[in-house]
Amino acid sequence: MQKTLMIMAAEIRTSLRRKSFVIIAIVAPVVMGLIALGIGLASRNAMEDTLATAAAAVAASRPAGYVDGAGLIRILPADLPADQLIRYDDEAAAQAALHANTIAGYYLIAPDYVQSGRVTYVTPEFRVLSDRLDAGLIEHLLLVNLLGGDTALASAVQQPLEVRTTSLAPAAAATDESWIGEMFPLFMVLILYMALIMPGGILINALIDEKKNRVMEVLMTSVSAAQMVTGKVAALGLLGLLMTALWLGVLWAVSSFGGSALAIPAGFSLPISLLLWALIYFLGGYAIYGAQFAGIGALAPDVNQTKSVTWIVMMPIIIAYVFMATSFSNPTGPFAVFLSLFPLTSSVAMIGRMAATEVPLWQAVLAAVLQFITAYFIIRLTARLFRAQHLLTGQPLTPKVFYKTLLGRA
């Protein structure tokens, strides 16, 4: 265990010295997260300032007066805000109060209001903020008096409809029509895809460099093949886990602080359970692909000869990425379910399904168990490549050679 940890520590230090990894895996998500946070906070502060200004304007606004030319108002409802409507016996008194700045304006209720419904609002100069008036108050006052003092009926007449929408579709079929709701499954798939592929490429390059520098031969004299594979795969896995956590943090920052500036719905939030599943599937998926990438690095004499083998190894995850990125409209179809359960594709496909719809718990657990079982056997097979790599140094690497050696038939 101590030797495995030493290999892990050395591999982590080496990877963190690579500028490309640091920029893509750490700097990029942190910068994007800070940008999203800054935009969200700026938007929120601007909104708070606007609301504060509006609230101050309403608080500082003067009441309105009214002149009941029709003689209708005999009852003052208890729910009418105090000092918001002041009664004047005639228009001359209302004008005097207006000139004295006691009121912002006054309503003239026409003598034939019952027939015409005419109400005139008089103000010297209307300004949206400073003279903001609520015509609903005078409307409510008139309705209460016309309906014999029944305030509940007056409120129902004033706002007769309260429409609520109920969908007959299953809850899992409900979709968020906002841009982040539609793009969220794709973001999750893309993050898992990048987190699986990028550390693997770095691992291949690191192993080939160690072979060329003869560092591999020195290490193999003091550590076992299993310790070598486990240490290197675990090191890049931890860095990939960090990369995944940072990118998921960016999604969380965007959804939590983006606000109206980024058109994020008020009720949108990242499901915590989905984030936990994403980390679990990353660990299982990276153990599978990281071990294979380590085997490629152990056998390849140079980077150029790894392309064809790497492409074959990555084919399942590429198929899963392409299919899930274009088929979120049917995440419960048989092919999508198969991809989410098959160990070589479940990391991307299962998270894509979880982000798009509700997945039965037994499928999620089964996929994770199959992943880790597959990873265990692949890591054991990969250890053979490290024992054989001295014999195969300099031999051209092809997919046939790779898989024959992996299965112990080389």
Chain-centroid distance, C-alpha 139: 45
Task: Decide which of 98 and 32 is more confident.
Answer: 98
What are 390's two structure tokens?
């001295």
- Section 334-358 average pLDDT: 85
Beta bridge partners of 68: 109
CA-closest candidate to residue 201, choices 281, 289, 317, 316: 289
| Cβ-count burial 325-362 (b if 16+ within 10 Å, e if not) | eebbeebeeeebbebbbbbbbbbbbbbbbbbbbebeee
CA 401/CA 394 separation, integer angstroms: 13
Question: pLDDT-based confidence at 200, cuts 50/70/90?
Answer: confident
Q: Judge whether residue 16 has pLDDT over 90.
A: no
Question: pLDDT-based confidence at 264, cuts 50/70/90?
Answer: low
CA 238/CA 61 separation, integer angstroms: 60
Query: What per-residue confidence (pLDDT) applies to 294?
Result: 78
Q: Judge whether residue 12 has pLDDT over 60.
A: yes
Q: Judge whether residue 302 has pLDDT over 80.
A: no
What are 103's two structure tokens?
């009121």
CA 322/CA 302 separation, integer angstroms: 29
Listed range (50-59, 237-246, 274-283, 352-361) with the worst mean pLDDT: 50-59
Q: What sign has the CA pseudo-torsion 324, 327, 331, 332?
A: negative
Q: Judge whether residue 257 has pLDDT over 80.
A: no
CB-CB contact of 191 with 248 (8 Å): yes
Query: What per-residue confidence (pLDDT) applies to 305?
Result: 73
Query: What per-residue confidence (pLDDT) applies to 176?
Result: 47
Q: Judge whether residue 389 has pLDDT over 60.
A: no
Name residue, tokens 């019952």: 114
Burial of 128 from C-beta contacts in 10 A (0-12 / 13-18 / 19+): exposed
Please spell the DSSP secondary structure of 202-221, one letter per residue: HHHHHHHHHHHTTHHHHHHT
CA 398/CA 387 separation, integer angstroms: 18
Query: What per-residue confidence (pLDDT) applies to 365?
Result: 93
CA 196/CA 243 separation, integer angstroms: 10
Q: Judge whether residue 171 has pLDDT over 50.
A: no
- Section 246-262 average pLDDT: 66
Q: Judge whether residue 372 has pLDDT over 50.
A: yes
What are 166's two structure tokens?
């109920």
In this predicted model, what pLDDT tens digit does every residue of 48-74 receive, in sequence order?
555 455 444 444 467 888 999 888 888
What are 7's two structure tokens?
């290999």
CA angle in degrees (0–180, nearest 5) for 184-188-193 = 145
Task: Decide which of 191 and 108 is more confident.
Answer: 108
Query: What per-residue confidence (pLDDT) applies to 60?
Result: 47
CA-closest candidate to residue 203, choices 355, 14, 341: 14
Q: Judge whether residue 167 has pLDDT over 80.
A: no
CA 195/CA 280 separation, integer angstroms: 13
Q: Judge whether residue 186 has pLDDT over 80.
A: no
Task: Decide which of 129 and 81 is more confident.
Answer: 81
Most confident of 16-30, 73-87, 172-186: 73-87
Write out 97-112 in H/E/C secondary structure.
Answer: HHHCCCCCEEEEECCC
Task: Decide which of 360 and 2 is more confident.
Answer: 360
Q: Judge whether residue 34 has pLDDT over 60.
A: yes
Question: pLDDT-based confidence at 371, cuts 50/70/90?
Answer: very high
Name residue, tokens 């599937």: 281
Query: What per-residue confidence (pLDDT) applies to 43?
Result: 57
**pTM of the shown model:** 0.56
